[in-house]
Amino acid sequence: MLRRTALALFATAFAGPAFAQAYPNKPITIVVPFSAGGPTDVMARIVGERMGRELGQQMIIDNVTGAAGTIGVGKVARSAPDGYTIGIGHLGTNVVNGAIYKNLNYDLLGDLVPIALLPSNPLLVVTSNQVPAKDLKELVAYLKANPDKVSGGTAGMGSGSHIGVLAFFAATGTNYQLVPYRGTGPAAQDLMANQIQIMIDQSSNSLPHVRAGKIRAYAVTAKQRNAAAPDIPTTAEAGFPGIEVAIWHGLWAPKGTPPEIINKLNAAAVVALKDPEVRRRLEDLGQDIPTPEQMQPAAFTAYQKAEFAKWKPIIEKAGVKVE
């Protein structure tokens, strides 16, 4: 009898505000659906470390990779809704994949609750230093003349780097072979070694290698040049308008996570993105930092839905799907 009461009390405490008040009392896992060292991982580590300091608990990074992030996002969707397992994702994993993958075993919009919108970065058109092109027009000509000599890296169908490729192919009339990786961190290593020749990759991943002279950048996929790389022309300036893609990030929790916990996590993310050192590190990688209002769970939910409505017809028109 006593045990039953204790169990019942435990259950109430777990579900109610008292549980949320005690939260967090142990480390929180952030599932990163791509390889260590890549753009999503870097975002999780920079923001997560500062969130952890705010919450008084360590944030543990768990890289659960494969199938353009769908494996990792699926793990978050099936985790206990107690605030101790959350996921980081981006436009690809949490919007575009919902239109591409016809057999997901979770509902991208229904099984995950938005916590906070995180920064957004454009993509850079980059090649290995072996590619003999001085600017984007020469690069496009080279790709058209050498379709068999060139292969490009992506983090799988529906990843940020793949969305970039789709826009690039459509605007330039090029087409090269794609090699899927578990993240663009390892793909960038292969690009430097000329195992692959081209990527359309997030600035946060490619810019440090461009600065080090290890790969070459031709254009940034944005309307305006990026403050972190003012010498790199926009795709329109370089002769090919219509390649404007920004990869925004976000944090999600499994459906059923108490709203008090979502709000605590959101508040910690807001504090993290106000921190001058965090901002400096992210801006140096070309990231655009959202306002606290844009980060709010309700605003982020609306934004994710709007992005889904925008991208679904684009993906369907492009005929990209995985059955």
Q: Is the dihedral of CA 143, 149, 153, 158 positive or negative?
A: positive
Examine residue 34 and tell whether it contacts ligand ASP (CB under 6 A). yes
Contact 187, 196 (CB under 8 A): yes
First to last CA, the chain: 52
Instruction: Name the one range near ligand ASP by CB under 6 A: 10-18, 156-164, 272-280, 302-310.
Output: 156-164
Choosing from 24, 39, 83, 119, the residue that interacts with ligand ASP (CB under 6 A) is 39
Choosing from 28, 29, 40, 70, the residue that interacts with ligand ASP (CB under 6 A) is 40
Q: Kindly state the smallest distance separating residue 35's Cβ from ligand ASP, in Å.
A: 6
Choosing from 38, 74, 114, 254, the residue that interacts with ligand ASP (CB under 6 A) is 38
DSSP SS3 for 229: strand
Chain centroid, CA 158 distance in Å = 11
Total binding residues toward ligand ASP, as defined by CB under 6 A: 15
Contact letters (x/-) for ligand ASP, 92-111, by CB under 6 A? Answer: x-------------------
Q: CA-CA-CA-CA torsion for 87, 166, 98, 89, nearest 10 degrees?
A: 10
Choosing from 121, 174, 184, 296, the residue that interacts with ligand ASP (CB under 6 A) is 184
Choosing from 161, 235, 266, 287, the residue that interacts with ligand ASP (CB under 6 A) is 161
- Residue 62 has a CB neighbour count (10 Å cut-off) of 15
Examine residue 155 and tell whether it contacts ligand ASP (CB under 6 A). yes
**Quick one: 257 or 304, whose CB is closer to ligand ASP?**
304
Contact 40, 34 (CB under 8 A): yes
Instruction: Name the one range near ligand ASP by CB under 6 A: 127-135, 158-166, 211-219, 222-230.
Output: 158-166
**Quick one: 96 or 115, whose CB is closer to ligand ASP?**
96
Choosing from 19, 30, 35, 197, the residue that interacts with ligand ASP (CB under 6 A) is 35
Q: In whole angstroms, what is the distance from residue 27 CA to residue 168 CA?
A: 41
Q: CA-CA-CA-CA torsion for 138, 142, 144, 145, nearest 10 degrees?
A: 130
Tokens of 29: 């896992």
**Quick one: 34 or 300, whose CB is closer to ligand ASP?**
34
Tokens of 257: 């996570």
Q: Among candidates 300, 265, 260, which has minimal Cα distance to 50?
A: 265
Instruction: Name the one range near ligand ASP by CB under 6 A: 30-38, 127-135, 141-149, 284-292.
Output: 30-38
299 φ/ψ angles, rounded to the nearest 5 degrees: -65, -40
Q: Which residues bind ligand ASP (CB under 6 A)?
A: 34-35, 38-41, 90, 92, 155, 159-161, 183-185
